[in-house]
Amino acid sequence: MKIVQVLTKAPVMGQVKTCLIPHYGEVQATLIYQALLWSQLERIISEEWTVELWCTPDDQHPFLQQCAAHFNIQTQVQQGEDLGQRMTYALSNTGGSATLLIGCDCPMIDKALILQGFNALEQAQLVFSPAEDGGFVLVGATKMPTNLFTAMRWGQTDVMTTIRQRLRHQGLIWSELPTQWDVDYPEDVQRWQREFGGN
């Protein structure tokens, strides 16, 4: 079985896409976040893999329930103190299945990229799709190392560089997909609207 995990937050006003709030306001920033999640799910739903929605702080928000019902997918609750722990927990609870984990704010992730990720895992232990901002928009594994994401400085421009160093140090074999961009700032929203029509 192949699994695609989508990491998301409950779209509570003032708590999502906070870097957009000064430009768009809390209501519009929340609506943008919801639109990103919905369009992400539309792009990746496939009979070839199972999609799971991994939610924080829980999965009870009406919009998350609406997504789960509309796309007929299961929800899970994220566990861990920071992003690294939450990703490691999700990727470690797959029963040994090849698994990809993505966020909900990268318009470039589609079925073709997901398929590339799963194909990469046939040869590599892990797969990443780096982000233009120095992080990554996709990570996949068949068996997730427990300490790869420990004590990371998330949100910094050296995240992927640090991960590569750790992968080499641990002697792990990994593959990298093409670098992508995600939606964090107003100029990213404009790029999303320009290139994808906001979908």
Cα angle 30, 99, 90 (rounded to 5 degrees) comes to 60
In a domain, 199, yes or no: no
In a domain? residue 196: no
Give the list of residues 6+ apart from residue 164 with CB closer than 8 angstroms, or none.
none
Question: Residue 76's domain is classified under what CATH number?
Answer: 3.90.550.10
| 197 occurs within a structural domain | no
195 lies in a domain?
no
Report pLDDT digits (tens) over 139-155.
Answer: 999 999 999 999 999 98
Q: Tell me the residue range of the domain where 82 lies.
A: 2-190
Tell whether pTM > 0.75.
Answer: yes
Helix (H) or strand (E) holding 3: strand 2-9
Contact 48, 1 (CB under 8 A): no
pLDDT digit string (tens) for the chain, length 199 residues: 999 999 999 999 999 999 999 999 999 999 999 999 999 999 999 999 999 999 999 999 999 999 999 999 999 999 999 999 999 999 999 988 999 999 999 999 999 999 999 999 999 999 999 999 999 999 999 999 999 999 999 989 999 999 999 999 999 999 999 999 999 999 999 999 999 886 6
CB count in 10 Å sphere of residue 100: 28
* Angle between helices 26-44 and 186-196 in degrees, nearest 10: 40
Total domains, the chain? 1
Q: What is the pLDDT of residues 94-127, one digit of tens each?
A: 988 999 999 999 999 999 999 999 999 999 999 9
Outline where DSSP puts E strands in 57-125.
74-77, 98-102
